[in-house]
Amino acid sequence: MKNLSINFCLLFLLLVFSLGVEGQSVVPTIGVPTFVSDVEMGEGSLLLLGEAAERGLTENEGFRIVDRRRLDAVFMAREEVRHEDYLASDRESIAALGADYLLVGRILSRKLAPRQSTSPDGLPTKTVSLRYQLKLSLLDVRTGQLMKAETSHLEGFLSTQVGEPEMDAPLESLIAQVERKAAAQLSKKVRRFVLRTFQGGMQVVDILHESRNKINEVLVATTMPNFSGQELKIYFNEYYVISGDTLARPIVLAEARIQRQEDRLLECKILKGSTQLYDAREEGHVLYAVPGDQKSHWLMKMMFLGLVD
């Protein structure tokens, strides 16, 4: 019966994790090359977007990042760099910099609309609107595979009229302000994009042994390719909706020790919290796990901040 259960879980994993991603037992290090653009843009505008992306990744003790100047140097000699080509021949050089993943951004369109007009009360006004369409892609340096891609939009807007300081400012200054407003939106978008990609690195997929309202052994599936830890913490997510955003807070239930590992299936004995685990299962909660020995529970910390759902 136990072998049948494991075989079923293997089939289940092939279906589920073929859509999933690979995580790590420590905070991943991500490289963010300077963004590229399909339309004419100044280098300063591209650097502004790249810096915003890095802030989103490192905020609240998040991911580690690679020095962008060193990363860009790897690609400097190449005449043309496309998203799908980033890891074609430079994988070892990128890995040597410490990058586990690459977050690459491509600007697909940029619509800038400065206008001068008259307000309803007859005062001269200036407005500047900006809209970006961009594509974010996350690449696994180890495998060279595209993990996830997403198209998104950024917008910035500024309006000023006679009597306000910005009215006498040159157009370039107004455009720079609008670009900063649009870039500020990117930080949150990037953080959510990456964290959603890493969500669900470990999940309880079967109960191997239970008795007297206690769960004693579980089967955990992991997307972590080289996981070598011995203990896990098992939790479920408690969800809230605040201002239209879904926030997830992890509730730790139990501690477990790995008894046997077969590829990415971990047979675990519950050391503490077997009753709480049973109750959570009966209430229909999906159970996840994180390595018990990692120094910073970065995934749980980010989930508490409501960045994954």
**pLDDT tens per residue across span 106-139:** 999 999 998 888 777 778 888 899 999 999 988 8
Residue 68 has a pLDDT of 85
Average pLDDT, the chain: 77
Residue 296: band (very low, low, confident or very high) from pLDDT cuts 50, 70, 90: very low
Mention every residue, 6+ apart, whose C-beta is less than 8 A from residue 229.
Answer: 25, 258, 291, 292, 293, 294
Most confident of 46-55, 86-95, 227-236: 46-55
Q: Which residues share a beta bridge with 124?
A: 118
- Spatial contact of 221 and 215, defined as CB atoms under 8 Å apart: no
Most confident of 21-25, 247-251, 279-283: 279-283
Residue 24: band (very low, low, confident or very high) from pLDDT cuts 50, 70, 90: very low
Mention every residue, 6+ apart, whose C-beta is less than 8 A from residue 307.
Answer: 191, 192, 195
Q: Is 76 a residue whose pLDDT tops 50?
A: yes
pLDDT in tens, 146-161: 777 888 899 999 888 8
Residue 305 has a pLDDT of 46
Question: 3-state SS of 1-69?
Answer: CHHHHHHHHHHHHHHHCCCCCCCCCCCCEEECCCCEECCCCCHHHHHHHHHHHHHHHHCCCCCEECCHH
Give the 3-state secondary structure of residue 93: helix
Q: Is 283 a residue whose pLDDT tops 60?
A: yes
Give the 3-state secondary structure of residue 233: strand
Q: Is 251 a residue whose pLDDT tops 80?
A: yes
Angle, CA of 77, 75 and 151, to the nearest 5°: 135
Residue 62 has a pLDDT of 63
CA distance 256 to 251: 15
Q: Which of 10-24, 65-79, 234-248, 274-288 has the lowest mean pLDDT?
A: 10-24
Residue 309 has a pLDDT of 39
CA distance 263 to 265: 6
Residue 241 has a pLDDT of 57
More confident call, 186 vs 17: 186
> Other C-beta atoms within 10 Å of 236: how many?
22
Most confident of 23-27, 75-79, 236-240, 244-248: 236-240
Q: Is 84 a residue whose pLDDT tops 70?
A: no
Residue 48 has a pLDDT of 92
Give the 3-state secondary structure of residue 283: coil
Residue 186 has a pLDDT of 92
The token pair that represents 14 in the structure block: 């092939």
Residue 248: band (very low, low, confident or very high) from pLDDT cuts 50, 70, 90: low
Residue 121 has a pLDDT of 77
Return the closest-CA partner of residue 234 out of 217, 247, 246: 217
Q: Is 297 a residue whose pLDDT tops 50?
A: no
Percent of the chain with pLDDT over 90: 25
Residue 209 has a pLDDT of 93
Residue 164 has a pLDDT of 78
Mention every residue, 6+ apart, whose C-beta is less than 8 A from residue 206.
Answer: 5, 6, 8, 9, 218, 219
